[in-house]
């Protein structure tokens, strides 16, 4: 049932596609497509964002959707199961799933096996490899399907998928996959301790610098002293606990009353209404504009209109956290000074006082001090912004990572 032709596609198994918050995955798929890798995209969920980024329009790989919930397409699931149960690897996949279910008695675990049956039946005959983005649900579906079909599988791990999954599951998946890449040194060290050998590698996402050309000259001398010309702050991120927007609002509320600033937030997320309420209660709602999710073209315009980028990431109560947020690299590529928190892999990009300002996560008072320093000192912002742009453009282009992935997927010849 498994395709063995070297020219057959690689199936990229994603949790959802397309997603505005996962530009890093889309840019990787497009870059590999341009290198000549045939790809099929398989998504566990249908899109929920109303808009897409330009990069999504350029991806020509066919997209298929697995049953998001098994009860919605019972005949499709039953038909797939009826066929794949005859495969030589089905028994091993079933036994593995049963062991997993006893340790994780959730409806999600049941859904993963049904989706794996459909993946094995509908997609596997036409591809030579399965590749999962994220080490939690997508990798579970991919792993079961690979066991059924005998196809090799690989994965990319990012952040939430690592730190909200139990070690037993991470270790077993790392033992089964052909190889795995992850996007920060922090992640790599953590996963390497759970892997049986050297199959975990660091591959930074980096930026597609063609989409982030050098910015127009930044000439703002705003220092927060003019109420008619406030310092323009921008933050891009989903309104979820790990992004620390509650801390950011607390920090902004602690700024001196005679310091004039305005924050633009870009991003969706379940906590947005609560955060707006928090801002109203703190008396600073008139200083914040909430734009919601926006395509990349609008994000770029917001960077150009701003003086300072801020992100207050922290470790959420369930262990979820950022890896190395691409928005930090995006902002720095446009010469914006960045105020961020020293969490996860952020210090792999930002050195405090050199190319940005860092404070401890979950510490609004320290964050407020960094914000006040950056808001009142346009020369500091200019210096940090230029240093950040230079760091991103010299060390965080996506080209090196795509070269690595291209080799792993068997592409040969000129990779430049």
Q: Judge whether residue 231 has pLDDT over 80.
A: yes
- More confidently predicted of 184 and 218: 184
Can you name the CATH fold of 10-205+398-408?
Answer: Rossmann fold (3.40.50)
- More confidently predicted of 416 and 306: 306
- The predicted-structure confidence for 152-163, as pLDDT tens digits, reads as follows 999 999 999 999
- The predicted-structure confidence for 266-305, as pLDDT tens digits, reads as follows 999 999 999 999 999 999 999 999 999 999 999 999 999 9
What is the reported pLDDT for 414? 46
Q: Judge whether residue 14 has pLDDT over 90.
A: yes
CA proximity to 177, closest of 207, 204, 145: 145
What is the average pLDDT value for the chain, to the nearest integer? 95
- The predicted-structure confidence for 163-197, as pLDDT tens digits, reads as follows 999 999 999 999 999 999 999 999 999 999 999 88
Q: Mean pLDDT lowest for which of 179-193, 215-229, 357-371?
A: 215-229
If 0-12 CB within 10 Å is exposed, 13-18 middle and 19+ buried, where does residue 13 land? buried
Q: Judge whether residue 1 has pLDDT over 60.
A: no
What is the reported pLDDT for 7? 84
- The predicted-structure confidence for 297-344, as pLDDT tens digits, reads as follows 999 999 999 999 999 999 999 999 999 999 999 999 999 999 999 999
Write b or e for each residue in 273-312: b if 16 or more Cβ atoms lie within 10 A of its Cβ, otherwise e.
eebbebbeeeebbebbebeebbbbeebbebbeebbbbbbb
pLDDT band at 6 (very low <50, low <70, confident <90, very high): low
Per DSSP, 397 falls in state B
Return the SS3 of 214: coil
What is the reported pLDDT for 66? 98
What is the reported pLDDT for 416? 40
What is the reported pLDDT for 321? 92
What is the reported pLDDT for 412? 72
DSSP track, 251-296: HHHTS-TT--EEEEEE---TTHHHHHHHHHHHT-GGGEEEEES--H
- The predicted-structure confidence for 366-397, as pLDDT tens digits, reads as follows 999 999 999 999 999 999 999 999 999 999 99
Supply 44's token pair.
């566990």
In whole angstroms, what is the distance from residue 242 CA to residue 313 CA?
A: 6
137 in Cβ contact with 86 (< 8 Å): no
pLDDT band at 365 (very low <50, low <70, confident <90, very high): very high
- The predicted-structure confidence for 115-158, as pLDDT tens digits, reads as follows 999 999 999 999 999 999 999 999 999 999 999 999 999 999 99
The contacts of residue 364 (CB under 8 Å, 6+ apart) are 247, 248, 250, 251, 254
Instruction: Calculate what percentage of the chain has a pLDDT beyond 70.
Output: 97
Same fold, 10-205+398-408 and 231-395: yes
Mean pLDDT of 84-90: 97
Q: Judge whether residue 240 has pLDDT over 60.
A: yes
* Residue ranges per structural domain of the chain: 10-205+398-408, 231-395
Architecture of the domain delimited by 231-395: 3-Layer(aba) Sandwich (3.40)
């Amino acid at each position: 049932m498994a395709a063995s032709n070297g020219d057959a596609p690689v199936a990229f198994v994603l949790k959802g596609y397309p997603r505005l918050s996962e530009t890093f995955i889309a840019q990787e798929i497009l870059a590999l497509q341009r290198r000549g890798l045939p790809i099929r995209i398989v998504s566990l969920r249908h899109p929920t964002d109303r808009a897409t980024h330009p990069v999504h329009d350029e991806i020509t790989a066919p997209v298929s959707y697995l049953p998001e919930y098994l009860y919605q397409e019972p005949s499709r699931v039953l038909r797939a199961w009826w066929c794949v149960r005859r495969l030589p690897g089905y028994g091993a996949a079933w036994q593995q799933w049963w062991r997993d279910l006893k340790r994780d008695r959730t409806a999600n675990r049941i859904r993963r096996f049904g989706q794996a049956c459909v993946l094995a039946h509908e997609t596997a005959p036409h591809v030579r490899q399965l590749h999962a983005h994220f080490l939690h649900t997508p990798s579970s579906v991919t792993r079961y399907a690979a066991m059924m079909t005998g196809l090799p599988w690989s994965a990319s791990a990012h952040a939430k998928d690592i730190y909200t999954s139990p070690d037993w599951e991470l270790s077993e998946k790392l033992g089964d996959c052909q190889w795995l890449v992850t996007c920060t040194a922090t992640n790599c060290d953590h996963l390497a301790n759970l892997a049986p050998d050297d199959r975990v590698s660091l591959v930074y996402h980096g930026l597609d610098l063609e989409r982030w050309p050098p910015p127009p000259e930044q000439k703002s001398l705003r220092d927060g002293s003019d109420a008619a010309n406030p310092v323009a702050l921008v933050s891009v991120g989903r309104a979820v606990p790990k992004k620390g927007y509650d801390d950011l609002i607390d920090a902004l509320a602690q700024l001196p009353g005679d310091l004039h600033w305005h924050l633009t937030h870009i991003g969706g997320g379940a906590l947005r209404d609560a955060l707006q309420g928090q801002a109203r209660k703190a008396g600073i709602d008139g200083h914040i504009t909430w734009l919601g999710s926006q395509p990349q073209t609008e994000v770029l315009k917001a960077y150009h209109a701003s003086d300072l980028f801020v992100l207050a990431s922290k470790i959420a109560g369930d262990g979820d956290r950022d890896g190395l947020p691409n928005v930090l690299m995006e902002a720095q590529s446009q010469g914006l000074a960045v105020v961020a928190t020293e969490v996860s892999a952020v210090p792999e990009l930002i050195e405090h006082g050199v190319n940005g300002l860092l404070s401890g996560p979950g510490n609004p008072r320290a964050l407020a001090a960094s914000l006040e320093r950056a808001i009142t000192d346009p020369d500091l912002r200019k210096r940090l912004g230029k240093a950040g742009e230079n760091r991103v453009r010299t060390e965080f282009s996506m080209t090196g990572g795509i070269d690595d992935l291209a080799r792993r997927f068997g592409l040969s010849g000129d990779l430049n």
